[in-house]
Structure 1
Amino acid sequence: MSLLSVRHLSIEYDTPGIEPVKAVNDVSFDLAQGEFVGLVGESGSGKSTLGFAVTRLAKPPARISAGSVLFDGKDITTLTDEQLRVQRHGGFAMVLQSGMNALNPVRTVRKHFIDIFKAHRHVPRDRFASRALELIGKVGLPKETLDRYPGELSGGMRQRVSIALALSLDPKLMVFDEPTTALDMLVQHEVMDTIRELQAQEGFTAILISHDLGIVLESTQRVLVMHNGSIVEDAPSKQILEHPQDEYTRMLLSHYGDPRAETVSVPGLRRRPAPAEGAAAVDTEAAAAPQDAG
């Protein structure tokens, strides 16, 4: 039996005075225990909305209008708040794209762990300190981190704290929503290395949501490509890279430079001729490709 089975799931955003906006349209897929799957698509494709739905974190105006989300054979869309609280321990967790936004700026990291331990009642009080220390160590942070505030940490450290907090629930499924957004290139790779190592060590199923196809292809075993609220391709990462079947997937790949290639061509950027002697220097930033807003 699949760990997660999504069947004909549709999600709408209710908007006053007009028809609801359908963000996810009749999506179905299965995940096995221990899989590491990428969910990729451009901004507005519905991928984050889907991630929030499969972890029951979607809030109004988002609404599941059709379909089911079976986790360990149980439809979590029908659970009450109390049943959902119980289900989260040993169940599913989500790491949001901004560690700063996910953490309370006026509470230390230690108090964040204590809040989770108290809310889910899965750690004995006399183990609060040792369990927090164990979790912070799993994501490669020093013990001093526990007594610091989020604002005292770098972006990469905050994201690692968020991952450790999610791990505290011993989840079978973890969803990472754009976990490297707003981080510099070196820190992006460090965070992704941590996620890959944890997934291999802990054995949880992982969904990596990203608009960055390069990160997804480098990190995951299988890729779901999402476009206009639907999954248009579902295949092993190697097959997506070498033999994409859908036109939209091919378009995404055309904007991804393979770092293993001897030469990399990026559409939209053209080599400019060197300025004549004595001429003003070219403004190189004007040639830079715009960043995806996420």
Structure 2
Amino acid sequence: MSATSEAPVRPAILYSCYYSQSRAGEQFVAEHALSFQLSGTLTTYDGFREQVFRAGDLRLVKRNHLVKFNKQPPENGEFKSLSVTLDQETLRRLSLEHGYHAQKPHNSNSAVLELPMTPLYQSYLASLQPYEHLAEPGNESLLTLKLQEAVLLLLKSNPELQDVLFDFSEPGKLDLEAFMSRHFHFNVQLRRFAYLTGRSLATFKRDFEKIFHLSPSRWLLQRRLQEAYYLIKEQGKAPSQAYLEVGFEDLSHFSFAFKKMYGVAPSRI
């Protein structure tokens, strides 16, 4: 999966398995997801820190975050992971039925939370092995139960996650300058940046120009090109790698913009 601005709708239970040297990309995480790493290595970056997950690791990916990822299969093997999407409808239903509520804001900015693997989680993972059958018509009730079970296991093993799972609020108004300085290399539309910083698109554009004295599109282009120049010149990365890392979708567009700004093609740096 190459870098993309918008992620498709994810199945409730998603099994990822393939042979490849490496697979990189990025996505906007719209729903919480509990994810088991079965084989290979997953490296994530959320604008704050890079994390590496190996076979046997467990993680919770929080909704309303931007995440870059790199999936690396083991030598002569397959990359395998299993993810359970904890959608807002399921969580709201459990909140009403059992009285679960967020008590306070969660104290971590990280989009990806590493969780200790326990016998309870291992038993749950084993119960998902016939995953390919759960999505078939007629299994909707069973699928709903498996999603609810995942939530209850999280609360049993990690009670503090109640403040994450049952926080149904939309993103609040954030420090725009700090947020964009950390996330400029994510290839998402301006409306997504606006949403994640707690603003309407019009307010986002207005606030942005007050801070940066440039339009968002112009600033993003310049900032991404500056970062690409650094990656190529100082870190020795190839333009074919650097353009994706800084948020460009198209290599030819990147090369054209780079040459226009610096007077030389990126391949000549």
Give the alignment's TM-score, normalised by structure 1.
0.24
The one of the two structures with greater contact order (alpha-carbon pairs below 8 A, sep at least 6) is 1
Structure number with higher helix proportion: 2
